[in-house]
């Protein structure tokens, strides 16, 4: 008879101080994820742009019974300097890191990041890529640990990554095409990260949370917003369920896969391309100008 793997949280119960860092945790599914993990015994770090918008969530968590104090980390994923400061701030605390949840996202916004990348790609993929790189050693030393990246089924609408366009301002009127490209990048990143971390004790998961009524859609043109609601949107709490499944229950043997409705789903053909995943990894390393112990394996 096959031996079933224990859920990750069962292992997490044995950890002295389980710690989770969640980007964009002051609203939407990030907030519900932070609340649930705090109730499960995790010390949660909310990595967000605004202290004012994060403070009510910190208070909400810290008023719960028998929880470890939640903390704020300032993070602007559109600014690589801010990302580096955030990582240094966390690492300076000398804590382990068992869950890194790349949750924050932009949809429908237009323009460039502070470092000159199309804003959806820069925030949704490149910002999280850099943050993960900076925290990799801590994740490995804290194993068993996990990296969960919130992607989207919108990646099916991507026609591929045109590298030159990623260094230009948003081209489409709605920004949805660029959003789809960034979500394709999320899945390719998670897939390749799992390959690089094989046998390290760090598992990686990408997921589609469902079409969730969150602030991520605030930049989408107003005439499209009723259409989104007509398609049927999940509540924020419902949208957090797949993230929580990947964080607490998904088997480590399923590292590198893509999930929806808390089950394995097959992503698009492009999202399964190992060649594109490798090229994206190489270019992302170049773009963040960050040395990596994996770089020598990319030649």
Residues with a catalytic annotation lie at 179
User: Which ranges in 163-273 belong to alpha helices (H)?
Assistant: 176-196, 225-230, 236-239, 241-248
Compute the distance between CA of residue 199 and CA of residue 287 in angstroms, rounded to an integer. 27
Please name which of 73, 211, 48 lies closest in space to residue 123, comparing C-alpha atoms.
48
| Tally of CA atoms within 13 A in the half-sphere of 62 that contains its CB | 12
User: Residue 252 in 3-state DSSP?
Assistant: helix
| Tally of CA atoms within 13 A in the half-sphere of 219 that contains its CB | 17
User: Residue 65 in 3-state DSSP?
Assistant: coil
Alpha-carbon separation of residue 168 from 80, 172, 185 (angstroms): 17, 11, 17
In the beta sheet, which residues pair with residue 73?
47
Are the C-beta atoms of 196 and 294 separated by less than 8 Å? yes
Strand 145-150 versus strand 99-102 pairing type: parallel
């Amino acid at each position: 008879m096959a031996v079933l793997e224990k859920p990750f949280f069962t292992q997490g119960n044995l950890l002295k101080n389980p710690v989770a860092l969640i980007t964009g945790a002051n609203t939407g599914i990030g907030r519900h994820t932070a609340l649930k993990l705090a109730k499960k015994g995790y010390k949660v770090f909310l990595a967000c742009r605004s202290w004012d918008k994060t403070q009510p969530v910190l208070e909400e968590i810290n008023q719960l019974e028998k929880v470890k104090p939640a903390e704020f980390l300032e993070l602007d994923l559109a600014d690589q300097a801010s990302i580096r400061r955030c990582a240094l701030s966390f690492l300076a605390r000398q804590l382990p890191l068992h869950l890194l949840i790349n949750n924050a996202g932009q949809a429908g916004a237009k323009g460039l990041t502070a470092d000159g990348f199309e804003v959806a790609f820069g925030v949704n993929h490149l910002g999280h890529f850099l943050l993960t790189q900076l925290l990799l050693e801590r994740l490995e030393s804290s194993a068993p640990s996990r990296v969960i990246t919130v992607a989207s089924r919108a990646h099916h609408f991507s026609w591929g990554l045109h590298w030159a366009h990623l260094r230009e301002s948003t081209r489409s009127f709605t920004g949805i095409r660029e959003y789809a490209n960034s979500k394709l990048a999320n899945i390719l990143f998670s897939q390749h990260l799992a390959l690089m971390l094989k046998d390290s004790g760090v598992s990686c998961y990408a997921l589609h949370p469902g079409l969730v009524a969150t602030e991520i859609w605030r930049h989408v043109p107003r005439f499209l917003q009723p259409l989104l609601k007509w398609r049927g949107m999940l509540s924020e709490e419902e949208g957090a369920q797949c993230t929580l499944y990947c964080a607490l229950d998904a088997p480590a043997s399923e590292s590198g896969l893509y999930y929806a409705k808390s089950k394995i789903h097959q992503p698009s053909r492009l999202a399964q391309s190992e060649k594109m995943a490798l090229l994206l990894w190489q270019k992302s390393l170049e773009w963040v100008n960050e040395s990596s112990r994996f770089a020598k394996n990319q030649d």
